[in-house]
Chain A
Amino acid sequence: MHKYKPLLLAILSVLAAVTVVACSATVPTNTATSPNVNPTGSPTAPAAGKSRLDTVISRGKLQCGVSGDLPGFSFVDKSGKYSGLDVDLCRAIAAGLFGDPEKVEYRNLTSKERFEVLKAGDVDLLSRNSTWTISRDTSLGLEFTATMFYDGQGMMVRRDSNITRLEDLAGKSVCVETGTTTELNLADQMRQRNIDYRPLVFENGDATYAAYAQGRCEGVTSDRSQLAGRRTALPNPDEHTILDVVMSKEPLAPVVVNNDSRWSDVVKWTVFTLINAEELGIDSKNLDEKLKSNDPVVRRFLGVEGTLGKDMGLPNDFAVQIVRRVGNYGEVYDRNVGSQSRLNLPRGINQLWNKGGLMYSPPFR
């Protein structure tokens, strides 16, 4: 009998393989009949009526893709606690959804893998200082929601290097992280000015700044906010300066996948909630007072009147939860990158629209 044992095994394994194939063969038939409907319930492209929003609510936790190594935006401290502007957006969404800003699972992503991970559905959104560009918004199949931070690309050099303009970098090396628009902007600016330089392209941020700190490259380029954040982590922050030149526009916005407007609306309007709260003068300290306000605009915004939250699929008091747990945009900014942080970045164009900046929320009505 044992003569046939290998034979039997072989048959069994082949049968198993065929079963697997047969089961997976449902994929082609389904897509043939309805190409836009996702047959296997894979998380990326939602089937009609099924939104990422439902997935998040039923899971009871938000999965947020962040950078994790960028002080001021998303940074993990020694105890594993996340903080930063990008992190606070994740917390604000969780507060709006569940009334608890801690119901977030963070995932550190490199700038290279971030969009693939998002598209594969492994995170619900990217809140990872990603620049909003036309090609990412269209051909990459992503959906940028609302700008959280208006940034621009800058160049950091050593104070004692006598470099004051890009032209002074001729014949020198510039460190840059791959997978970002930074690399392209740098090439464009240098080509425009006909400067012969040498790019050193690193795979991750830590290696980039380590090489700069060790003096392997004379300049390091990135978004100005990121440079300011990284500067605080260098051995002697005062020895480094950020040049005045601004090489690009970098509106940083949270990203979700295409074709899921219910979910992208939630992310978008969470950003607007932060901005609108500041505009209405509501912050985490005076919130209880404002809840008693007679102003219909405030009452509607805080969900005392109307059903703005419910219509979106959130609790009606989502704005209250967001402001109570996280604060308004001004508080978030000051705490993470502004006057109360080590970065100490001035508000600049990130001021409210009625104070000379670009932060503007469409009306809540």
Chain B
Amino acid sequence: MASARVPIWRDDRFWKVTLQILAVVAVVAIADFFLFNLRWSIARRGSGFGFDFLGSAASFDIGEHLIPFRSSDPYGRAFGVGILNSLKIMLVGLVLTTLLGIAAGVARFSQNWLLRKIVVVYVELFRNTPILLQMLFWYFAVFSNLPKIESRILVLDTVYLSNRGVVIPWISQGWGVVGLGVLAIAALLTWRWRTRRLVEAGDPGRAGLYILATFGVAAALILLFGLGWSLPVIGTNNQVTGGLSLSAEYCSALLALVFYTGAFVAEIVRGGILAVPKGQWEAAKALGFNNGLVMRLVVFPQALRVMVPPLTSEYLNLCKNSSLAVAIAYPEVYSVSSTIFNQTGRAVEMMLLIMATYLTIDLIIALVMNFINSMVQIKER
């Protein structure tokens, strides 16, 4: 039987090798075709490929910038200003979205009927309308309809609202923030030490409580006096000094992103909590935990395991959706880039730069989230 010749097309090994080779040829050919097409189109349009233009003067202005920018600065710096503006909206957006999403998701399990229903309405309303529409709504229906700066609204004597945006009190001393950070780390360590004593030695933990209280008082003192709060003052010429000015464009884009993505996060949180077996609730309650403690100590940590992977993609969505802020004149990276490619005609180069920027930001977020994911997974010892 062994001597019977197998025809080559019936031979598994032959097909395995041949198919691999064919696949490689196809991939290379297709990639080469597109690259060639790109090069050919560029040559045909009579503009060479290169990034030298980033060094020439931008000669346009950008409305808000975290680093100093004048119209005589180069395109490259303008692009950097755009990236920073994007990061400003992404980072703040991620934090606020997480807070809002978790709060809304957990509130779905509240004993309070009204709260539960409010969250249902919020989630369904914001999840099911396009984000661009929401952005335009915040901008044209909410912020643009606020009074002009001359007749601004003053909230709690500290926050100004006008159609130019929001001015809030802000920190002007750096060391206070450092102090708060140190206190927070110390408090965390104390908390863990106290928990260990509680569990392992059956210690009532009074000492730890006193130390924590001291930290709390110190933190409150720093918050009140150590940060050098600068209150906004609006002068006679309606010029704002002090405080932190957030433009109407920034606020609209941020609110739209946070409320939209927050609705999705709320659903992820709800799903994660539902995924924890009912027995866990019952067991915890049998041990005498109240509802809040069950959620915080037993259910939520287990829910995290299910929540983190889909949460990552919502975070990535938020970052990518931030480019929609171009519709309401917020100068984020896409907006600045589109001005640059209009002035220079360098569409391909600018598109590549924008893609590289979003790719880098999203990959970093994915990396961090994967790390967090590996931390919340069950550790088998």
CB nearest to A39 among chain B residues: B40
**Residues of B in contact, count (CB < 8 Å):** 51
The verdict on B140 contacting chain A, using a C-beta distance below 8 Å, is: yes
Check A207–B15 contact: CB distance below 8 A: no
Contact (Cβ within 8 A) A183 B329: no
Check if A7 sits within 8 Å of B61, measured CB to CB: no
Given A183-B339, A215-B163; A119-B61 close (CB under 8 Å): no
Residues from 21 to 55 in B contacting A, C-beta threshold 8 Å: 22-23, 25-26, 29-30, 32-33, 36-37, 40, 43-47
Residues 180-204 of chain A, each 1 if its beta carbon lies under 8 Å from chain B, else 0: 1001101110110000011111110
Instruction: Select one of A24, A180, A191 contacting B71, CB under 8 A.
Output: A191
Which residue of B19, B43, B239, B335 contacts A201 across the interface (Cβ within 8 Å)?
B335
Q: Judge whether B29 and A17 touch: CB under 8 Å.
A: yes
Known A119-B45, A178-B335; contact A200-B342, beta-carbon cutoff 8 A: no
The answer for the CA separation of A253 and B37 in the assembled complex, in Å, is 32
Per a CB cutoff under 8 Å, which of A14, A25, A45 touches B26?
A14
Known contacts: A44-B44, A200-B63. The answer to whether A11 contacts B37 by CB under 8 A is no
Asked whether A18 lies within 8 Å of B25 as measured between CB atoms, the reply is yes
**B30 and A21 within 8 A (CB):** yes
- The answer to whether the Cβ of B327 comes within 8 Å of any Cβ in the partner chain is yes
With contacts A190-B61, A215-B163 taken as known, whether A140 is within 8 angstroms of B345 at the C-beta atoms is: yes
Chain B contacts for A197, CB-based, 8 A:
61
In the complex, what distance in Å separates the CA atom of A28 from the CA atom of B327?
40
- A214 on interface, CB distance cutoff 8 Å: yes
Q: With an 8 A cutoff between CB atoms, is B62 at the interface?
A: yes
| A24 lies within 8 A of B33 (CB) | yes
Q: 1/0 per residue B121-153: CB within 8 Å of A?
A: 000000000000000000010011100100000
| B72 beta carbon closer than 8 Å to chain A | yes
Question: B237: nearest residue on chain A (CB-CB)?
Answer: A171
Q: Pick the residue among B26, B329, B347 that contacts A17 (CB under 8 A).
A: B26
- Rounded to whole angstroms, the CA-CA distance of A28 and B38 in the bound complex is 12
Q: Is the CB of A199 within 8 A of B342?
A: no
B331 interfacial contact with A, CB 8 Å: yes
A142's nearest neighbour on chain B, judged by CB, is B345
Q: Report Cα–Cα, A183/B336, bound state, in Å.
A: 12
Known: A214-B144, A215-B144. A14 touches B23 (CB 8 A): yes
Cα of A216 to Cα of B247 in the assembled complex, Å: 11
Is A311 an interface residue when CB atoms closer than 8 A count as contact? no
Chain A nearest CB from B296 CB (Å) reads: 44
Interface residues in A169-184 (C-beta closer than 8 Å to B): 171, 173, 175, 178-180, 183-184
**Nearest CB in chain B to that of A188: its residue:** B59
Task: Please tell me if the beta carbons of A27 and B36 are within 8 angstroms of each other in the complex.
Answer: yes
Contacts of B164 in A (CB 8 A): 173, 216
C-alpha gap A17/B31 in the complex (Å): 12
- Given A10-B19, A201-B331, A201-B339, answer yes or no on A187-B59 (Cβ-Cβ < 8 Å): yes
CB of A79 closer than 8 Å to a CB of B: no
Taking a contact as CB atoms closer than 8 A, the residue among A24, A25, A183, A207 that contacts B60 in the complex is A183
Instruction: Indicate if A33 sits at the interface (CB-CB under 8 A).
Output: no
Q: Which B58-72 residues sit within 8 Å CB-CB of chain A? A: 59-64, 70-72
Which chain A residue lies CB-closest to B136? A207
Residue interface bits A135-148, CB-to-B below 8 A is 1, else 0:
00001110000000
A20, A116, A140, A216 pick with most chain B CB within 10 angstroms = A216
Query: A222 to nearest B CB, angstroms?
Result: 15
Nearest residue (CB) in A for B342 is A179
Chain B CB within 8 A of A355 CB: no
Residue pair B342, A198 in contact (C-beta under 8 Å): no
> For A24, what are the chain B residues with a Cβ–Cβ distance below 8 Å?
33, 37
CB-contacts of A222-256 with B (<8 A): none
Is A203 touching B40 in the complex (CB atoms < 8 A)?
Answer: no
Name the residue in B61, B163, B249 with the highest tally of chain A Cβ atoms < 10 Å from its Cβ: B61
A210 part of interface (Cβ distance < 8 Å) = yes
In the complex, which of the residues B40, B59, B60, B71 has the most CB atoms of chain A within 10 Å of its own CB atom? B60
Q: Is B328 an interface residue (CB 8 A)?
A: yes
A270 to chain B, nearest CB (A): 26
CA distance A187 to B29 in the complex (A): 47
Is B36 touching A28 in the complex (CB atoms < 8 A)?
yes
Closest residue of chain B to A214 (Cβ to Cβ) is B144
**Least distance between B352 CB and chain A CB atoms (Å):** 16
Shortest CB distance B222–A (Å): 35
Are A17 and B327 within 8 A (Cβ)?
Answer: no
B329 CB contact (under 8 Å) in A20, A186, A211: A211
Mask: chain A, 114-143; 1 = CB below 8 Å from B; 0 = not = 011001000000000000000000011100
Docked-complex contact A187 and B71, CB < 8 angstroms: yes
A7: chain B residues within 8 A (beta carbon): 15, 19
Q: Is A159 an interface residue (CB 8 A)?
A: no
| Interfacial chain A residues near B19, Cβ < 8 Å | 7, 10-11, 14
Q: Is there an interface contact between A207 and B345, defined as CB atoms closer than 8 Å?
A: no
Mark B345-362 against chain A: 1 for CB-CB distance below 8 A, else 0.
Answer: 101000000000000000
A16 CA to B347 CA in the complex, in Å?
32
Closest chain-B Cβ to A140's Cβ sits at a distance in Å of 5
Chain A residues contacting B145 (CB-CB under 8 Å) are 214
Given contacts A21-B33, A112-B342, A211-B144, contact A199 B45 (CB under 8 A): no
The complex places the Cα of A187 from the Cα of B69 at a distance, in Å, of 12
Query: A198 contacts which chain B residues (CB < 8 A)?
Result: 63-64
Whether A186 contacts B22 by the Cβ 8 Å rule is no
B48 to chain A, nearest CB (A): 11
Beyond A140-B345, A141-B46, A188-B59, list 5 extra A-B contacts (CB 8 Å).
Answer: A28-B40, A115-B345, A178-B338, A191-B70, A214-B145
Q: Which residues of A contact B (CB under 8 A)?
A: 7, 10-11, 14, 17-18, 20-21, 24-25, 27-28, 31, 35, 44-45, 112, 115-116, 119, 139-141, 171, 173, 175, 178-180, 183-184, 186-188, 190-191, 197-203, 207, 210-211, 214-216, 258
Closest 8 CB pairs of A and B: A214-B144, A21-B29, A187-B71, A200-B329, A179-B342, A17-B26, A14-B22, A187-B61
Q: Please list 19 pairs of residues, one from A and one from B, whose beta carbons are closer than 8 Å in the complex, sorted by A's number.
A: A17-B26, A17-B29, A18-B22, A18-B26, A18-B29, A20-B30, A21-B30, A24-B37, A28-B36, A139-B46, A139-B47, A141-B46, A171-B239, A178-B338, A199-B61, A201-B339, A202-B327, A214-B144, A216-B164
